[in-house]
Amino acid sequence: MTITSAGPTTPLVPAAPPAAPQEPADTVTFTIDGIETSVPQGTLVIRAAEELGIQIPRFCDHPLLAPAGACRQCLVEVWAPGRDGNPAKMPKPQASCTLEATPGMDVRTQHTSAEADKAQHGVMELLLINHPLDCPVCDKGGECPLQNQAMSNGRATSRFVDVKRTFPKPISISTQILLDRERCVLCQRCTRFSEEIAGDAFIDLQKRGAQQQIGTFDTQVLGYVGDAPVGESTEDVSGKPFASYFSGNTVQICPVGALTSAAYRFRSRPFDLVSTPGISEHDSNGSAIRVDHRRGVVLRRLAGDDPAVNREWISDKDRFAFTWQSAPDRLTTPLVRRPGADGSRGELEPASWVEALGAAAAGLRAAESVGVLAGGRLTLEDAYAYGKLARVALGTNDVDGRARPHSDEEEAFLAHHVAGRTLEVTFADLDRAPAVLLVGLEPEEEAGVLFLRLRAAALHHGTRVLSVAALATRGLTRLNGTLLAAAPGTEAEVLDGIVDGADDELGSAAEMLAADGAVVLVGERLAGVPGGFSAVLRLAARSGARLAWVPRRAGERGAVEAGLLPTLLPGGRPVADDAARAELAAAWRVDELPAVPGRSTSQIVAAARDGSLGALVVGGVDPADLPDPALARDALDRVGFLVSLEVRPSEVTERADVVLPVAPPVEKPGTFVTWEGRPRPFPQALVSHALPDHRVLDRLAAELGVDLGLATVNDVHAELDRVGGWSGARVAAPDVEAAEPPAVAPGTAVLATWHQLLDAGRLQQGEPHLAGTAKRPTARVSAATAAAAGVADGDLLAVSTDAGTVTIPVAVSDMPDHVVWLPTNAPGSAVRDTLHADSGTLVRIASAGTTSTITTLGEA
Amino acid sequence: MGTTLTPVLSDRWDAEQSWKLSTYEQGGGYRGLRRALGMQAADVVTMVKDSGLRGRGGAGFPTGMKWGFLPAPDGGPRYLVVNADESEPGTCKDIPLMLASPQDLIEGVIITSYAIGCHHAFVYVRGEVVHVYRRLLAAVAEARAAGYVGTDILGSGFDLEITVHAGAGAYICGEETALLDSLEGLRGQPRLKPPFPAVAGLYARPTVVNNVESIASVPGILRGGADWFKQMGTERSTGHGLFSLSGHVTRPGQYEAPLGITLRELLDMAGGVREGHELKFWTPGGSSTPIFTAEHLDVPLDYESVGAAGSMLGTRALQIFDETTSVVRAVTRWTEFYKHESCGKCTPCREGTFWLAQVLQRIERGQGTPQDIDLLLDLCDNILGRAFCALGDGATSPITSAVKYFREEFEAGCHTPADVLFPPERSALFDYRPRSGAALAGVHA
């Protein structure tokens, strides 16, 4: 695959073109330290100096935050033309972080002005008088802007012999974020980030003068004691101290060691760390990260700087949820199930690769037919290998990468609109979009950085955000968004209602979406709504808005491009298209490819259960994520032969006949493809013996007598370039009728559900500090629905199906009646596993008492 | 010696129930408003410009010119905000004015609002002075009942609401942009300028922020005309002003006189310095203006002359200190005030006042070091002009000026406590026995 340059053919996933040079704006010519420079109008002097390589010391200044001018470290001497045209010196030194360059200005920094130099030394001395000299034990020591700039722009010795201000240390402003107030220089980067970028103003300045400090809101006033809510706050889902999904960014931008994370505090010294660039594996944004490791252990992750994608921000999940990759239960050797002497199935036992691959190949050969299930977190290279294994070595199209609710309509949508159409909608388009319609997508929960980009677009570019959903979340509120309320299952109906001339909010939505540059972002959850994708395509065609699919997991888009679907081959080639199959067969140097369209994930599970499939190869799938986990477990139990590729033991490995361990992202190079279709290659961070999936599959195929030719990542890339894109006919757009919404009988409601960013997900295990910042699992119903069910705000609500019951506190919300919302996979609310249900399912709701009674029972 | 008092604002302070609307009207009140409502708004602005009225809050910016900075009306709201957050040590003119004759201010607010096209004016009054807050509320209610506030004022078609807002007790909220943030319900800290309040002030709308005395002076200009106003004062500092004499003076109080009067003249009217004592130093305009000494007794108290003599006219808060006063002690108290009131936003003011206070306290205890005076001056240099707003600058003025005139007293602080050199009970105007405490290491420790 060509990631950096275009080859002779169109690459399968072409790299993004370099950013277009910005339109030449009006420029301003002025001098800094005698060097003449021209910058766009409105440029701050401190930025212009950076461009010239002149470093002006600073603390509060951050290029992505609004200027504050609070720390006064960046003072420079400024001369500007007066009324008579002659340069006149401004009487006071100016803060270069708030000063816009004007024509003819003459700026003199510390390098050429004694006044600027003295001013900077003076401010630095004042910053240090109350700063503790605890650099030897401070996390920031070694990478600290205060430390560095005290050396470059400070006095060698201190004149301060008086009493320093001290605070008790540290205070925890959430389970993850700790604050050492005496180290704080009050630059307000953290509070400005929280207010301007994340919209989570849970921290703010408090008190004044030398006692000024960063703090959380008054716990007494808000009903908190320590970190625990009391009284009316008990059921509040939003107001935990600094319960922000983006809080970790404040640690990274803190220019001193005042904000630290519980996970990293006192763990290492920056100069002992080796840094490797990486890509977050947690969502489909492909956020750039920096993996910092020491002696083979990852100690922390930081946000990378990528203006095209995540700017300099990542979600807390991207930052803190990495310990799963080095969990103590990691699979380190292949396992083979050796039948017991008594004829039982026997136990899994460690085996050599030779034995394990041999056993796996033998089992697969013995099975008449094999299905392949792959999870949504694979790299492009690995996804490609699963698809090729199925089609070349196993001779089947029974392969599906969708470990989640899915539909044939969705597959047609992906084949018609998504596969092979990369970078048609990008993050940058959101900035320019007059309106963005979200369908089946909750950006803050399902794509954190997308939320931040949308918020910036909404606040700074006036982008109007619309959301077709069951309720307006706090996230939508912070996007200044408009809810187009839709009970689950009626999304298609609402989408079809967005037509010109409709006299309600749908009419104005149609007007907004008709504007040039409007975008529709549709989430993977729409697969659960019959007719949903058909309606979205109709809307896009009708309005002219561009349409992009934003799946939740990092590997979903790559899987589509790699052809990890039963009716789709790599590059968007339809299985049903003879020419497409022939082209790919030629590229793969095989005679022919299976022409029969394959089974989808649910069909593969069903076929494995009833014996029509004799064996399964499963990689990175958790049965609890599948539409019906009980059915999936049953199928895994019953299937004749099961090969599992996994990083850690799972419900699949424990049922498998052969387990082949594979490398987590940090131990292999690879490529995630973002929802935009942007390839995001990342290098291997840690030295490891673990093998990536494509290499394991290559060796498995070799045992089966087939040379996949995918042994190394370079082999895969070369082949992806050779295969290239598809220019033939695309699959026709789906046209599925919307289903009639179910009749809601008394005592029942329609279920609405989506994943929260922080929940019981497997990739968040081993990070209790992060888990502590998750939202409290809470059900939501409207006031009328609550009254009908006999529950009050804060009571426990029992949501049941024939399969089971979820009982969690309820928050009465502004949302359609006869709908109940649950977090999909929060602790205590495993919707698919417990209820075997999903959005649109009819569930029973009933009061289950109050939380206090449960607490009492628990204590008793 | 020809300067005499010119009571305009203070003219009726001795009347029975001077704060009542009826009293105010009997003395000619609201004639200015009637005249203004009969004029074009732009002509009112021109009249105030012609009068030469300059901001009475300290900076002395021409009031009419400030009004003229508002952008052309765009149909949206524009606001008048009256800065009644009088908190400077020594300054005590607006609070007596609002207490004795609040209708001067209310009428000025209505005229000014008419002139600038404002339909909702705010008076931000210092929170500690609850009695003034109550009196202002009552004054607005009286004016409303009389038809001066509300809709269609005096049949002119002009509408105005006046909201009196009590602050929560922060000196920084006298800084106009911090005041606006506080008024909006935010933390009171100064805003980045530009944009200036005239362009984006209260709720990001064009806003005029004026001092109480400036606004209260407007009705008189409307009644008497610009030329009447210009008869008083000097050529560039026109009109009347309240001069607040306090401290070691025989008859402390408010003396309303033309700008350009001298302290010598004012002291004559006030019965001179305390009996048996002589003037040592004084502040021309509150604690943040550099101090003067007896050599400045004949400096005309107008903006230009005071500036030329090295200080600022400020708020004309003339604090008189006689020879019993320790300048070190006085400056230390002021510095402790600035340390306490620094908002904390910017480094120089927040950390600088914290440090200055400790150095001064050391000198006051007689435990200063020979380097301390240079350290004080260097710290002041590192704060002056480096801070975000003028509060930091103001904190340095008393120190640098005191060292300039009384360096030997600071040098004495290297060996002798201030209360030994200047026993505090001798400065007191009443029977006073200093509390012993750890703060003082001298005879009173």
Strands B120-125 and B161-166: parallel
Q: Residue A236's pLDDT is what?
A: 40
Burial A208-231 (b: 16+ CB within 10 A, else e): bbbebbbbbbebeebbbeebebee
Would you place residue B274 in the very low, low, confident or very high pLDDT band (cuts 50, 70, 90)? very high
Task: Verify whether the Cβ–Cβ distance B359 to A93 is below 8 Å.
Answer: no
B444 pLDDT more than 70: no
Q: Residue A237's pLDDT is what?
A: 38
Strands A35-40 and A615-619: unpaired
Q: What is the ipTM of this complex?
A: 0.94
* pLDDT tens per residue across span A477-487: 999 999 999 99
Of B192, B350, B358, the CB nearest to A162: B358
In chain A, the residue whose alpha carbon lies closest to the alpha carbon of B349 is A209
| B374 CB within 8 Å of a chain A CB | no
* pLDDT tens per residue across span A239-254: 445 578 999 999 999 9
The helix (run of H) or strand (run of E) holding residue B217 is helix B212-231
pTM exceeds cut of 0.90: yes
Strand partners, A346: none
B371 is written with which tokens? 């380097």
| B191 CB within 8 Å of a chain A CB | no
Distance, in Å, from the CA atom of B240 to the CA atom of B220, rounded to the nearest integer, reads 10
- For an interface test with A, which of B342, B365, B380, B386 has the most A Cβ atoms less than 10 Å from its Cβ? B386
Task: Verify whether the Cβ–Cβ distance B344 to A123 is below 8 Å.
Answer: no
Q: Residue A340's pLDDT is what?
A: 80
Strands (E), A250-360: 259-261, 274-279, 288-294, 297-303, 335-338, 347-350
| B173 CB within 8 Å of a chain A CB | no
Percent of chain A at pLDDT > 90 equals: 85
Q: Residue A32's pLDDT is what?
A: 98
Distance, in Å, from the CA atom of B286 to the CA atom of B444, rounded to the nearest integer, reads 29
Task: Verify whether the Cβ–Cβ distance A208 to B172 is below 8 Å.
Answer: yes
In chain B, the residue whose alpha carbon lies closest to the alpha carbon of A184 is B347
Contact B66, B198 (CB under 8 A): yes
Distance, in Å, from the CA atom of B219 to the CA atom of A681, rounded to the nearest integer, reads 73
Burial class (CB in 10 A: 0-12, 13-18, 19+), A367: middle
Contact partners, residue A227, CB within 8 Å, separation at least 6: A172, A174, A175, A240, A241, A772
Of A71, A185, A208, the CB nearest to B342: A208
Q: Residue A242's pLDDT is what?
A: 57
- Gyration radius from chain B CA atoms: 22
**Helix, strand, or coil (residue A212):** coil
Q: Residue B391's pLDDT is what?
A: 95
* pLDDT tens per residue across span B26-43: 999 999 999 999 999 999
Range in A122-136, A156-170, A608-622 with the lowest mean pLDDT: A156-170
Contact A122, B348 (CB under 8 A): yes
Highest mean pLDDT range out of A225-234, A333-342, A438-447?
A: A438-447
Of A73, A160, A211, the CB nearest to B355: A160
Would you place residue A225 in the very low, low, confident or very high pLDDT band (cuts 50, 70, 90)? very low
Task: Verify whether the Cβ–Cβ distance A210 to B342 is below 8 Å.
Answer: yes
Cα distances (angstroms) measured from residue A225 to each of A241, A354, A774, B38: 10, 59, 18, 62
Strand partners, A565: A568
| B172 CB within 8 Å of a chain A CB | yes
Token pair 């029969």 in the structure block, residue: A596
DSSP letter (8 states) at residue B249 = B
Q: How far is A158 from chain B (nearest CA, A)?
A: 12
At position A663, the amino acid (one-letter code) is A
Distance, in Å, from the CA atom of A363 to the CA atom of A639, rounded to the nearest integer, reads 12
Q: What are phi and psi of A583, to 5 degrees?
A: -60, -45
B261 pLDDT more than 60: yes
Mean pLDDT of A303-312: 96
B1 pLDDT more than 90: no
How big is chain B, counted in residues? Answer: 445
Count of A-B CB contacts under 8 Å: 100
DSSP letter (8 states) at residue A336 = E
* pLDDT tens per residue across span B356-415: 999 999 999 999 999 999 999 999 999 999 999 999 999 999 999 999 999 999 999 999
| A192 CB within 8 Å of a chain B CB | no
Of B343, B351, B379, the CB nearest to A130: B351
Sign of CA dihedral A577, A579, A584, A586: positive
* pLDDT tens per residue across span B121-167: 999 999 999 999 999 999 999 999 999 999 999 999 999 999 999 99
For residues B204, B205, B206, B209, the Cα torsion angle rounded to the nearest 10 degrees is -70
**Average pLDDT across chain A, whole number:** 92
Q: Residue A635's pLDDT is what?
A: 97
| A102 CB within 8 Å of a chain B CB | no
Q: How far is B443 from chain A (nearest CA, A)?
A: 23
Range in A9-13, A433-437, A705-709, B31-35 with the lowest mean pLDDT: A9-13
Q: How far is A113 from chain B (nearest CA, A)?
A: 15
Peptide bond into B219 cis (omega under 30): no
Q: Residue A297's pLDDT is what?
A: 96
Q: How far is CA B334 from the centre of its chain?
A: 16
Percent of chain B at pLDDT > 90 equals: 94
Contact A635, A641 (CB under 8 A): no
* pLDDT tens per residue across span B321-357: 999 999 999 999 999 999 999 999 999 999 999 999 9
| B358 CB within 8 Å of a chain A CB | yes
| A626 CB within 8 Å of a chain B CB | no
Of B344, B348, B381, the CB nearest to A186: B344
B262 pLDDT more than 50: yes
Peptide bond into A823 cis (omega under 30): no
Secondary structure of A454-510 in HEC code, one letter for each residue = HHHHHHHCCCEEEEEECCCCHHHHHCCCEEEECCCCCHHHHHHHCCCCCCCHHHHHH
In chain B, the residue whose alpha carbon lies closest to the alpha carbon of A74 is B386
- For an interface test with B, which of A59, A61, A72 has the most B Cβ atoms less than 10 Å from its Cβ? A72
